[in-house]
Amino acid sequence: MNPRDFYRHCPRCGTVQAATPTGNVFTCGHCGFRLFFNPAVAIAVFIRREDGRALFIHRAKDPGKGRLAPPGGFIDLGERAEEAACREIREEVGLELAVVTFLCSQPNSYHYAEVTYPVLDFFFTARALNADGAAALDDVAQFEWLDPLAVRPEDMAFPSMQTALAQWQEQLRRS
């Protein structure tokens, strides 16, 4: 369920609501309190090493367990997207990044523990400074360095990643 579907009572005055909210806002029928439901922001990074190969992980957990993905995760409160990219990559695969460049954003949704969160994924490309130090850490079952042009977008865990990979591949073919 979308987070808004859990709002059967007003979180301000406690009044039971006649209907669950629609769209991206909860409005209390009793006190008029309004609460907006905006997407969470996540980042993912297509990381290349010297020989041009890119790191793809196999996800350790659902959603998308076992499927391919660029490493990434959710942005913390108060954190910049570029900082989140560097932190998540360090935590998940032990890599330090250089030349972190914005690629594109894509809407996504992420189902976890009964709640389906609306998400906006920010995709970056980057270069690994210590490619030999890559390791499967948090939420990563294993990883591979693959020719990014040989990976089929449909093998990626989420539609947002499929679109982003196709866009990156376009960019690589032009360069």
Interface residues toward Zn ion, by CB under 5 A: 10, 12-13, 15, 28, 30-31, 33
Q: How far is the CB of 11 from Zn ion (least distance, A)?
A: 8
φ, ψ for residue 162, nearest 5 deg: -65, -45
Q: How far is the CB of 158 from Zn ion (least distance, A)?
A: 36
Nearest Cα to Cα of residue 33 among 7, 66, 5: 7
Residue with tokens 């890119």: 54
Q: How far is the CB of 31 from Zn ion (least distance, A)?
A: 3
CA–CA–CA angle 73, 78, 84 (5° rounding)? 30
Give the C-alpha separation, 142 to 59, whole Å: 8
Q: How far is the CB of 26 from Zn ion (least distance, A)?
A: 9
Residue among 31 and 146 whose Cβ is closer to Zn ion: 31
Residue among 28 and 89 whose Cβ is closer to Zn ion: 28
Residue among 16 and 113 whose Cβ is closer to Zn ion: 16
User: What are the distances in angstroms from CA 153 to CA 100, 124, 133?
Assistant: 22, 16, 26
